[in-house]
Amino acid sequence: MYKYILETAGDINWMAVFALITFVFIFSLAVLLIFTKSNEEIERLAALPLDDNDLSNGKQSEQ
């Protein structure tokens, strides 16, 4: 089976189709699942860099 696939590699079609399908699949999955996430959770995650408990940052009041 794999030999057959590899032997037809000179033909761009299967590669293009394979690449397109994989990409569309991954992309759609990521988009779909990201937009089902609650906004509060997203806000908390986005704020993670600003909440690092590093007291040396306190001076610049960036907590």
Partner 1 sequence: METVQTVQTEKFSYDNTIVRNFGIATVIFGVVGMLVGLIAALQMIFPELNFGIQYITFGRIRPLHTNAAIFAFVGNGIFMGVYYSLQRLLKARMFSDVLSKIHFWGWQLIIVAAAVTLPLGITSSHEYAELEWPIDIAIALIWIVFGINMFGTILKRRENHLYVAIWFYIATWVTVTVLHVFNNLEIPVHMWKSIPVFAGVQDALVQWWYGHNAVAFFLTTPYLGLMYYFLPKAANRPVYSYKLSIIHFWALIFIYIWAGPHHLLYTSLPDWAQSLGTVFSLMLIAPSWGGMLNGLLTLRGAWDRVRRDPKLKFMVVAVTAYGMSTLEGPLLSIKSINAISHYTDWTIGHVHIGTLGWNGMLTFGILYWLWPRIYRTELFSVKLANTHFWLGTLGILFYAIPLYWAGWTQSMMWKNFTVDGFLAYGNFLETVTQIIPMYAIRAIGGTIYLLGVFIMVYNLWKTASAGSLARNVEVEAPPREKHVRHKGEYWHKWIERRPIQMLFASTVLVLIGGMVEILPMMLINDNVPKIESVQPYTPLELEGRDIYIREGCLGCHSQMIRPMRSETERYGEFSKSGEFIYDRPFLWGSKRTGPDLHRIGEKYPHSWHYNHFLEPESMSPGSIMPPYPWLFDQDINTSYTASKIKVLKTLNTPYGEDYEDVAVAELQEQAKEIADELREQGIEQENLEQKEIIALIAYMQRLGTDIKVQ
40 binds partner 1 (CB under 8 A): no
How far is Cα 20 from Cα 17, in angstroms, rounded to an integer? 5
Among 1, 4, 11, 40, binds partner 1 (CB under 8 A): 11
How far is Cα 32 from Cα 25, in angstroms, rounded to an integer? 10
- Residue 25 Cβ vs partner 1, minimum distance, rounded to whole Å: 10
21 binds partner 1 (CB under 8 A): no
Q: Which two tokens stand for residue 17?
A: 């189709």
- Residue 4 Cβ vs partner 1, minimum distance, rounded to whole Å: 12
Map tokens 């988009």 to a residue: 31
24 binds partner 1 (CB under 8 A): no
